[in-house]
């Protein structure tokens, strides 16, 4: 990843996973951000990449914040609303840190690849070594800095590891064009490392997919 | 009743000589209606608030609902009640009259100064009655466009409205996409459903079953179908609320009594409330207008004009949309708004959508619902920036155009808390 183009200040003030996603988007493209939250990524994309962006967000507060920023965001749900979008409506459909909170991740991914020519998915890696050790030694569901809710409170109902996700991409017949794993500090894990290495040291992963 | 004796002449005088601005269109300027008739002459009564800027870029059109009118932010000339949308429109409101030039027209077929069945038919010298041609939502919008032409306003910064007003917003966006910068359809639908047509039919049959209706010739015969129109309003009013809101407001509470009277008197508060709604409605509205305007809503099916595909109505549109629905609205449920949103998505349109959680039912768009103002305010503000409109200016009351002088006092009156029931009662 060409992170060098971003100044240190920018990196400090913006979530690295969002920047990583932004790096994957071609300037001037049409983008749908599924689960866009307060619109941080859409704003970043329209500033840096001049995209024509749209969003879907579950929470009313999130939608209001987005609308007040001048973003085009509809209140809705990845599980129920993607079905209404026509084929090839967007260049990219992005699912940022939301996959694990959907009811049907496989169906959502299939819709993303139908609606968009490319799909970008970022998710927390449940195979990260800290999570493994947490489960192995404490015998309890892991609660970490980034995944900080107890199992009975968390909206994250479908965790997966990087290897699980790679298997899912094969299942839905998607091609991985690019993949980045970020370590605890938000730095990319060595590019030439094998999947098993990423699966242990990547705290989160960002995948750029296209139909196979 | 004495109030009726007092108010009726006032209401009737508003039909042809409204106490608002009015634009008259002569024989050279007919209005072509969907039913094939060329309506001429005709007039449009309208109200304006705020000032048009030098570029004529800050005009906002507010479209009113079924039984509301142009008096959205001033005291009503017949009822004396405050304007029906002062929560949304006014200084410092989401539609800030210090920033925007707000226009609201009485719709075609209504009875507050725009030509309708209560108006005098110039050919006969009598009220039109049922000789008035059937009008549609598209006809209402055509009439509004003619008014804007006359005012020299090529494009609107925003068109907004709730319920039937929202239907006009959608029609505006479809018919004149190049004239609408942003559109705010609230608690509405791109078509009237079977259930809604059914409710309207009950209302119309109630009017026509009243012996005083006289086949629509009640004005000449000196009668008024108050009973029928009152019942129509009572039935309709239920659909504007939610079960929860009714329960919260009234429950099974008795009206001014300790025990049931074992009669058909209005024992329950909810009965008394509905009777009041029905009675106050007939003081301000014309029965034939009620037939015509409900019919216009029934005929509304935007997709039908575009081969049955709603997305085609918005194809290529650059209008920015913000669609709003309410969770407890069972008259225009969220699914209706979602259908519009999906069509806009399919057309590649710029659309935002929010479903606001409230138990206030369909009426929520007229009431004090902070989330509604947060959403619409944010949308309007962002769109104004995109349009290059400046922030609100401090304008003295005297600069408000289109308002008679005494309106400045109304502003002060408006600051008083209003009873929500009476305010909502005149808004749709």
Question: What is B8-48 written as a DSSP string?
Answer: HHHHHHHHHS-SSEEEEE-TTS-EE-TTS-EE-SEEEEEEE
The pLDDT of residue B159 is: 98
Q: Does residue B31 register a pLDDT over 50?
A: yes
pLDDT at A1 over 70: no
Asked if residue B351 has pLDDT above 60, the reply is yes
Structure confidence at residue B410 (pLDDT): 36
Indicate yes or no: CB of B355 within 8 angstroms of CB of A84. Answer: no
Q: Which two tokens stand for residue B176?
A: 């004149």
Count of CB atoms within 10 A of residue A20's CB?
A: 24
- Give the residue numbers spanning the domain of A125: 3-211
Residue A150's pLDDT band, with cuts at 50, 70 and 90, is very high
Look at the alpha carbons of B128, B133, B137, B143 in this order and tell me if their dihedral is positive or negative.
Answer: negative
Pairwise CA distance, residues B226 & B64, whole Å: 23
What is the average per-residue pLDDT within A55-82?
A: 93
pLDDT digits (tens, 9 = 90+) for B100-146: 999 999 999 999 999 999 999 999 999 999 999 999 999 999 999 99
Q: Does A93 touch chain B (CB under 8 A)?
A: no
pLDDT of residue B394: 57
Count of the separate structural domains present in chain A: 1
B327-358 burial: b if 16+ Cβ within 10 Å, else e:
bbbbbbbbebbbbbbbbbbbbbbbbbbbbbeb
In this prediction, residue A14 has a pLDDT band, given cuts at 50, 70 and 90, of: low
Inform me whether the pLDDT recorded for B427 exceeds 90. Answer: no
| Residues with Cβ within 8 Å of residue B49, at least 6 apart in sequence | B73, B74, B89, B90, B97, B101, B102, B400, B401, B402, B403
Q: What domains, with CATH codes, occur in chain B? A: 2-191+308-425 (3.40.50.1820)
Please report which helix (H) or strand (E) contains residue B158, including its range.
Answer: strand B156-162
Whether residue A64 and residue B371 make contact (CB cut-off 8 A), yes or no, is: yes
For chain B, how big is the Rg over CA atoms in Å? 21
Residues of chain B neighbouring A80 (CB-CB closer than 8 A): none
ipTM score of the complex? 0.84
CATH of the domain at A46: 3.40.50.150
How far is Cα A180 from Cα A1, in angstroms, rounded to an integer?
8
Is A87 part of the contact surface with chain B (CB cutoff 8 Å)? no
Sequence-separated contacts (24+) of B167-170 with Cβ below 8 Å? B167/B137, B167/B297, B167/B300, B167/B302, B168/B63, B168/B107, B168/B137, B168/B140, B168/B141, B168/B144, B169/B63, B170/B302, B170/B313, B170/B340
Q: How far apart are CA B66 and CA A208, in angstroms?
A: 51
Alpha helices (runs of H) in B210-242, residue ranges in sequence order: 218-221, 226-240
A67 CB neighbours in chain B (<8 A) are 322, 352, 354, 375, 378-379, 382
Q: B220-276, pLDDT tens digit by residue?
A: 999 999 999 999 999 999 999 999 999 999 999 999 999 999 999 999 999 999 999
d(CA A188, CA A170): 23
**Which residues of chain A does B373 touch, with a Cβ-Cβ cutoff of 8 Å?**
none
């Amino acid at each position: 990843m060409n992170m060098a183009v971003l100044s240190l200040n920018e990196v400090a003030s913006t979530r690295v996973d969002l920047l990583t996603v932004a790096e994957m988007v071609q300037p001037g493209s049409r983008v749908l951000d599924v689960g866009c939250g307060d619109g941080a990524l859409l704003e970043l994309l329209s500033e840096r990449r001049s995209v024509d962006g749209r969003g879907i967000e579950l929470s009313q507060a999130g939608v209001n914040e987005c609308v007040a920023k001048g973003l085009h965001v509809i209140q809705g749900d990845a599980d129920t609303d993607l079905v209404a979008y026509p084929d090839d409506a967007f260049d990219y459909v992005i699912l940022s840190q939301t996959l694990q909170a959907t009811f049907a991740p496989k169906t959502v991914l299939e819709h993303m690849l139908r609606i968009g020519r490319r799909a970008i998915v970022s998710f927390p890696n449940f195979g990260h070594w800290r999570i493994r050790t947490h489960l192995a030694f404490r015998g309890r569901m892991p609660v970490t800095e980034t995944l900080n809710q107890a199992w009975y409170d968390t909206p994250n109902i479908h965790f997966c590891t990087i290897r699980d996700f790679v298997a899912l991409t094969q299942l839905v017949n998607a091609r991985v064009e690019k993949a980045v794993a970020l370590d605890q500090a938000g730095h990319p894990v060595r590019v030439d490392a094998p999947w098993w290495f990423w699966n242990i040291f990547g705290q989160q992963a960002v995948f750029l997919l296209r139909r196979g | 009743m004495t109030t009726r004796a007092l108010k009726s002449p006032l209401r009737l005088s508003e039909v042809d000589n409204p106490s608002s601005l009015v634009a008259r269109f002569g024989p050279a300027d007919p209005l072509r209606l969907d039913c094939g008739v060329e309506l001429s002459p005709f007039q449009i009564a309208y109200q304006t608030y705020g000032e048009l800027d030098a570029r004529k870029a800050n005009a906002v059109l507010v479209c009113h609902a079924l039984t509301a009118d142009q008096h959205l932010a001033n005291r009503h000339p017949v009822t004396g009640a405050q304007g029906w949308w002062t929560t949304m429109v006014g200084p410092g409101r989401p539609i800030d009259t210090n920033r925007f030039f707000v226009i609201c027209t009485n719709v075609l077929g209504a009875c507050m100064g725009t030509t309708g069945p209560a108006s005098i038919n110039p050919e006969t010298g009598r009220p039109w009655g049922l000789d008035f041609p059937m009008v549609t939502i598209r006809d209402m919008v055509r009439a509004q466009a003619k008014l804007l032409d006359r005012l020299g306003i090529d494009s609107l910064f925003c068109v907004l409205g709730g319920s039937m007003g929202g239907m006009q917003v959608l029609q505006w966006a479809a018919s004149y996409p190049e004239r609408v910068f942003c559109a705010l359809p609230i608690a509405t639908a791109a078509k009237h459903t079977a259930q809604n047509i059914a409710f309207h039919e009950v209302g119309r049959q109630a009017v026509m079953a009243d012996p005083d209706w006289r086949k629509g010739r009640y004005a000449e015969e000196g009668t008024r179908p108050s009973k029928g129109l009152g019942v129509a309003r009572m039935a309709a009013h239920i659909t504007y609320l939610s079960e929860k809101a009714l329960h919260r407001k009234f429950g099974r509470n008795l009206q001014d009594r300790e025990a049931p009277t074992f009669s058909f008197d209005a024992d329950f508060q909810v009965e008394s409330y509905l009777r009041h709604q029905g009675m106050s409605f007939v003081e301000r509205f014309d029965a034939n207008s009620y037939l015509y305007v409900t019919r216009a809503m029934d005929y509304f099916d935007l997709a039908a004009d575009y081969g049955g595909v709603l997305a085609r109505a918005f194809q290529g549109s650059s209008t920015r949309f913000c669609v709003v629905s309410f969770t407890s609205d069972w008259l225009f449920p969220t699914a209706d708004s979602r259908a519009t949103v999906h069509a806009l998505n399919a057309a590649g349109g710029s659309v935002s959508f929010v479903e606001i959680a409230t138990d206030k039912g369909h009426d929520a768009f007229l009431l004090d619902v902070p989330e509604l103002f947060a959403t619409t305010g944010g949308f309007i503000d962002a769109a104004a920036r995109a349009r290059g409109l400046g922030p609100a200016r401090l304008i003295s009351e005297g600069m408000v155009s289109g308002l008679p002088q005494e309106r400045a006092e109304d502003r002060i009156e408006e600051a008083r808390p209003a009873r929500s029931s009476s305010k909502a009662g005149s808004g749709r």
